[in-house]
Structure 1
Amino acid sequence: MDTPPPAGNGAHNGKRGRARAMVKVSPYMVIPSRVGGFSLYLKQGDRLVLYAEKGELFTEEHKQRLGLLGVDHLYVRTEDYALFTRYLQDNILEILDDESIPVGERARVWSDATTSLAREAFDRSLPAPVDKRRFQRIHKLITDSLRFLSREDALKELARFIREGEELFQHGVGVMVLTVTTLCSFMKEDSDLIVAVGMGALLHDIGKLELPPEIFAKKFETLSRADKDLVKSHPALGVGVCSALPLPQETLQCILFHHEREDGLGYPSGSTGAMLPSYVRALALCNEYDNLTRGRTERRLTPFEALVRIKSMRSAFDMDMLRRLIEVLAKADLTS
């Protein structure tokens, strides 16, 4: 790319840095009248040129010039990435509602914002990963994302970002997207409920942080009876982890009951489908689907194979909810 011309307050020609210790980000996250608590860089060959200084007010000219230059990516320093994702989280509604931004780019920005927040919530090094402040940020992000997640074209784009990775927080994001999009297909008007379930879906495995991680690296059927009992304790442990938070009842039910089955053979309560709310049945299904389609390539099923597997377990899952999930995936062209 040619050297960019001055961009008003945003051009800083001559200040350059090597293309390392940097994170690639979307140019569409620049919102006029917002201050970025991070510096932005443009790439020139193997070098980076400073485009906007930390603490600088973004202007309409910044945004227009990036479009004229055809900039595909901007860069932030690794040490500024937490500030960058916080900026995205604070401004996600404006970005997602901007129809001038391609849906794929909005999905990319959403993924950056959500993945960062989910990673914090599942950080074993923190004494209280999900504190009240982080809970409020999760609630706001899901609330601000609801309209975007209900779009048929959004799921197809989001699939590029949420299908990879075996970490708990990555699985939580995947299950949240699948559960919310499925519920939005038939109960879009009850946004408060969907937000509550979205939080439960994102945090459903938070109880696993209380257990030795090596237990979950093994196949469940190969575990000893004692270790199986430990694994089965993670839903109740998850409720305990979140006990100090002002969580809605629906969120707590999602965390506690996400391994229940229609036939009553699930855990921890052995409740049957008739005893479980529809949103819990949706979450249990989406959790199974995401588990089957996530992970290492050699053991990961395709969407079609996963749906066939779930269909064969008719007694375990709500078949009407499965039909709704298939419809959602089919509209997003994600069933093959």
Structure 2
Amino acid sequence: MLVKKLLGKLHRVSLRGKILIAFVVIMTLFLYRVSFSTKYYIVEKHGQEQVGTILQGAHNYFYDKLENMTYLFRTITTEMELRDYTPAQMAKVKNKVQAWPSEIRPDILFFTDKEGKVIYSKNNPEPVKDIYQLDILKLATMRGETSGIEVLDKQLLEAEGVAGNACINIVPTPQATNLNYTKECKAMAMMVVEPVHKNMGIAGYVVLGKILNNNNTIVDNIKKNFGARSTIFLDRVRIATNVTNDQGDRATGTLLSDPVYDKVIKKGSKYTGRAFVVNNWYVTAYEPIKDVNGKVVGALYVGTEEKPLLEMQQSVNNQIRVTLAVAVVVFAIAILWVYRSVVKPIHNISTGVLHIARGDFGTRFPTSQPNRCWEIMDCQQEECPAYNNALIRCWLLSDAWCRHQGNNCGKPDCCLHCDVYNIYSGNELDRLIDAVNFMAMFIDERTKAMEELNKQLEANNKELAEHRDELESQKENLLQLNRQLEESMKALDHSQNIIYALAVAVEAKDPYTRGHSERVAEYSIRLAKRLGINGDDLELLKGAALLHDIGKIGISGSILRKPGALNALEFQQVRKHPSIGERICLSLKFAQEMLPIIRHHHEHYNGQGYPDGLKGEHIPLMARIIAIADAYDAMTSDRPYRSGMPREEALRRLREGAGTQWDPKLVPEFINLVQNEFVEEVAVSKENGQFLR
């Protein structure tokens, strides 16, 4: 019920108000959409693409360090031709790896026999053999040289004397599940194993490892190279990082948030998006770190603070708001122009039509062009543009009808051929107002004529009061005459006037086609008579021929008057005029039978025409007749881009197109018509479109 009331109120809002409401709604939705889009493209899409690229670079850098360790270690063992475990050889290996760069310099170095039991350790002269059971050693016994990530337990770290540096205090972290222990004493390490060969077999293995706990060299270099914060996680504990806490210290020991932990550690998938890191929101990217067995043991993180991206979004939004403000001003000016040029004249028409409906037939509507034929009526008046102007011809008489060169036209639409009208009639809306004014004047004249007739009837009734029988007879005759006059006026109003007005409205857009519709109608009627068509069908054909190009009202005048050949887009627009003409005439009751003729007069006999590609006998007969007449007149008439061709050339082209473009049975009839009945060339007046024999 509420919606119905609101719709009712909206329906009563003026057109200007509706335009303003629509503008406000559109601008609001547009502003909302733009704000949403800028956040998506700048904060989310751009930010995620950026950190995704950085993560790939960080991944390459991280595993490049492991590859460097493997390569350097392989180089050492190859150069030394390691064959046995002498103290001198072990010391030499130790000295060489100690010279490596700090970011890959190993914290652990030990030698094992071929069963994997430790023989010598760099950090522990008396290693405990049973606790050095590593997955990477097991893999090395199967495939030789091996490298990868290994998680070292607390016992091994203590045995190697590095547990103190590796242990990390756990810090409770927002949006992360707290652990049930306070210190992480396991360590993530980059491990490399090289076999020691002796007598064509393996005598043992050399193992080295770089502990990543509290080793911030890699993450700092990632930040330096890629401009993003970086972290290495062991399980959910941050073991190496350049992310800082509120005090500005490294946030080592803080925990991975639960949503990221579930996706990266538990499911082994990458994560890209917003994430709460320690104490702030970041645009982040995580990828799992897997050990030598493919098990996820931690994560590599890169991220940039969200704040700079939000500031960029706000800057873009501010620029958009300024642009929208300018657009609002421009649109307001456009609305004012539309109101004055369109809405106000339409309002004047609606108000005036109500006056006409109430019987005020003297109503006239104001237009932007004051020179209306049916109001001036006489070119000898000073307000007429043709007054004392030999360059402008006017065919008006003081009796409200028009004439040309001294011959009465006898039709009210002849005023439309007047130069005064064609030059000064304004735009299409002004012409619509002129047409309504003409209708009002026509009704007013007929009403006055009817009033005069009624007065005459009343006088006759008084004179015939003594002769009742004769009076009744005359009264019946007069009433019959009255009905005939009313029917004639309605028929005239609904058919001939509208046909002529519509046809002339088309030709007013293109002066080069003036008289084209009348000539096509003349050719079509003559051909139809040769085919045995007569009576009402001839009138139907004539009306359809006059209106066959009415759809060109909807085509841009610049296209119709273009002096050169049309391009593909322009030709596509012109091809729409048959269907546009059908829609225009759809609401005209008298033109219902003409609709298929108007729509299909550009169909080809072989089905290659438009708009529906009808073929052969499926094309209405009258449309096939008009198609031939239309083509012949077009070929023999001048156009902006060419002169009309001779009659024989046009007839030759009709013969060539018979059976493809035109009906092969009708083309010979038309050619005989032109050659036999039109022995003398039909001279066509290019000024008024009338036929002169």
TM-score (norm 1): 0.54
Q: Where does residue 191 of structure 1 map in the other structure?
A: 535
Unpaired segments of 5 or more residues in structure 2? 1-376, 380-392, 440-489, 501-509, 683-693
1:267 maps to 2:610? yes
SS of residue paired to 1:222:
coil
1:305 alignment counterpart:
649
Deviations 1:53-74 (A, max 9, x none): xxxxxxxxxxxxxxxxxxxxxx
Please give the alpha-carbon distance, in whole angstroms, between the structure 2 residues aligned to 1:319 and 1:81.
51
Distance, in Å, in 2 between the alignment partners of 1:113 and 1:219 is: 33
Deviations 1:297-335 (A, max 9, x none): 952012211111121122111122112212222212157
Q: Contact 1:235/1:256 (CA < 8 Å) preserved in 2?
A: yes
Residue number in structure 1 paired with 2:263: none
Residue 216, structure 1, aligned to residue 560, structure 2: yes
- Determine if contact 2:523/2:629 at 8 Å carries over to the other structure: yes
- Backbone CA RMSD of aligned residues: 4.1
Q: Is structure 2 residue 588 aligned with structure 1 residue 283?
A: no
Q: Distance in 2 between matches of 1:332 and 1:309?
A: 18
Quote the residue 1:45 is aligned against: none
Within 5 Å, give how 1:127-276 maps onto structure 2: 127=432, 135-138=494-497, 166-188=511-533, 190-218=534-562, 222-224=566-568, 226-276=569-619
Distance 1:283 1:311 in 2: 16
User: Are 2:327 and 1:327 equivalent residues in the alignment?
Assistant: no
SS at match of 2:638: coil
Would the aligned equivalents of 2:499 and 2:546 in 1 still touch at CA under 8 Å?
A: no
- Alpha carbons 1:166, 1:294 under 8 Å: kept: no
Structure 2 CA distance, aligned partners of 1:327 and 1:232?
A: 30
> 1:243, CA displacement in angstroms?
2.0
Partner residue in 2 for 1:84: 401
CA distance in 2: counterparts of 1:263 and 1:183, whole angstroms = 22
- Aligned to 1:267, the other structure's residue is in SS state coil
Over 3 Å counting, the alpha-carbon distance change for 1:249 and 1:136 in structure 2 is closer
Q: Distance in 2 between matches of 1:257 and 1:271?
A: 8
> Percent same amino acid among aligned pairs?
22
Larger radius of gyration: 2
| Alpha-carbon distance in 2 for matches of 1:134, 1:295 | 34
Aligned 8 A contact 2:524 2:545 in 1: yes
Structure showing the higher strand proportion among its residues: 2
Number of aligned residue pairs: give it.
221
Structure 2 length normalisation: TM-score?
Answer: 0.28
Residue of 102, 106, 116 corresponding to 2:414: 116
Separation of aligned partners in 1, 2:399 and 2:554: 25
Q: Deviations over 1:87-107 (max 9, x none)?
A: 99xxxxxxxxxxxxxxxx9xx
1:304–1:335: 8 Å Cα contact kept in structure 2? no
SS of 1:312's equivalent? Answer: helix
Residues of 2 paired with 1:213 and 1:82: CA distance? 34
Paired position in structure 1 for 2:637: 294
Change (3 A) 1:318 1:260: same
> Secondary structure in 2 aligned to 1:187?
coil
The unaligned stretches of length 5 or more in structure 1 are 1-36, 40-75, 89-104, 142-164
What is the alpha-carbon distance in structure 2 between the residues aligned to residue 115 and residue 305 of structure 1?
A: 35
Deviation at 1:287, TM superposition (A): 0.5
- Flag the 1:309–1:168 CA change in 2: closer, same or farther, 3 A: same
